[in-house]
A and B are shown apart, each in its own frame.
Chain A
Amino acid sequence: MSEGVALYPYLVLGALLFTCGVICMATKRNAIGVLIGVELVLNGSNINFVAFSQYNPDFQVEGMIFALFVIVMAAGEAAVALAIVLNFYNNHSTVDVDSAEELKG
């Protein structure tokens, strides 16, 4: 009978995906690259939710349901963000986030 993997490596994987997403959001100048970073962050949090749902019996169903809600929210967020990016591209003919400065104070 194998002991399986401990909880800790899953959490480290989630933290790695989260960090990659944050760096992606910070460094990409393409608006869609920023969106890809957000997806990475949400995936890191989802790995945490599902890992805790396996390793904490009191949290089994909740972890999976929260992960499902996060997936649905990510789908809606991607749809709206891409609509905004398309609109921005229609107005500015670029998706460089540095050129979005009308609201700069």
Chain B
Amino acid sequence: MFDAEMFMFWLIASLTGLCAIATVITQNIVRSATWLLFTLAGTSSIFFLLGADFVGAIQLLIYVGGTMVLVVFGVMLTAQGPFVNMRTSGAEWAISIVAGLMLLGVLCFGLTSFQKLPTGEALAKANEAHSKQRKANDPKTSTHASTIGQALSGVGYGPIYKRMPPLLPTKDAKGNLVTLPGAPRETERIHYLLPFEIVSVHLLVVLIGAAYLARAKRRRGGKA
């Protein structure tokens, strides 16, 4: 049976993987940056396919729009000629390909060994959760962007969680020392306001640091 989502996944995934491999193989840094551009665009289509529309849009805006412009500017500003070749020797290629294949094998082996495939009742429950998730990813009912905004702005999302106080040593009726949790005192929702603020300060520091590092060089003893 023809499955559109399956077909789209394998199409996009194979294209993205091939572009990533081409990024590694090509010796020309301009071509490498171009292949990276296609890889990033393919990754954002994977995000759209997964239903994470907001993350996919941000990936397109920041990565494909911003970071790639930075990389291309770096290539243009540092190239001695229009096409710079810094060859890697054959032995180095052989070693790195063997090491890379071994790394890929270890990763895939780790994936298969940690993921116990559910059966019976667990399988039915997992399928139910998955179909509910797919329904939630429907663009008509999706609330991803607003949920992410609430989580980042400190309003919080999800149910109200009770924070349990630390375990306190108390004596029970017979006088034995036991540790019992006290009554839950605070209620709060999950939010990521502090990391959001830290990231904003981090970006400011990056801005200043990059401008300081890349400023026009002033030759010592010469004129400015």
Q: How far is the CA of A35 from the CA of B32 in the complex (A)?
A: 11
A17 touches B71 (CB 8 A): no
From B33, B51, B84, A54 is in contact (CB under 8 Å) with B51
- Cβ of B173 under 8 Å from chain A: no
Mask of A24-55 contacts with B, CB within 8 angstroms, 1/0: 10111111110111011001001100110111
Chain B: CB-nearest residue to A5:
B9
- Cβ of B182 under 8 Å from chain A: no
- Given A3-B3, A39-B67, A65-B192, check contact A53 B33 (CB 8 Å): no
B147 touches A17 (CB 8 A): no
From B21, B77, B86, A30 is in contact (CB under 8 Å) with B86
Chain B: CB-nearest residue to A32:
B74
From A4, A43, A82, B43 is in contact (CB under 8 Å) with A43
- Given A2-B3, A29-B88, check contact A74 B67 (CB 8 Å): yes
A79 touches B70 (CB 8 A): yes
Range class of the A interface residue count: 35 or more
- Cβ of A7 under 8 Å from chain B: yes
- Cβ of A100 under 8 Å from chain B: no
Range class of the B interface residue count: 35 or more
A13 touches B13 (CB 8 A): yes
A30 touches B29 (CB 8 A): yes
Residues of B near A43 (CB, < 8 A) are: 39-40, 43, 63
User: In the complex, what's the smallest C-beta–C-beta distance from A67 to chain B, in angstroms?
Assistant: 5
From B10, B24, B129, B212, A24 is in contact (CB under 8 Å) with B24
A32 touches B23 (CB 8 A): no
Contact residues of A between 52 and 105, Cβ < 8 Å to B = 53-55, 57, 60-61, 63-65, 67-69, 71-76, 78-80, 82-87, 89-90, 93-96
A-B contact pairs, 13 of them (CB 8 A): A12-B111, A15-B111, A19-B100, A26-B99, A28-B32, A39-B67, A47-B43, A55-B133, A68-B148, A69-B199, A74-B67, A86-B214, A89-B78
Binding site for A on B (CB under 8 A): 3-6, 9-10, 13, 16-17, 20-21, 23-24, 29, 32-33, 36, 39-40, 43, 46-47, 50-52, 54-55, 58-59, 62-63, 66-67, 70-71, 73-75, 77-78, 80, 84, 86, 88, 92-93, 96-97, 99-101, 103-104, 107-108, 111-112, 115, 127, 129-134, 136-137, 144, 147-148, 151-152, 157-158, 190, 192, 195, 199, 202-203, 206-207, 209-214, 217
Binding site for B on A (CB under 8 A): 1-5, 7-13, 15-24, 26-33, 35-37, 39-40, 43, 46-47, 50-51, 53-55, 57, 60-61, 63-65, 67-69, 71-76, 78-80, 82-87, 89-90, 93-96
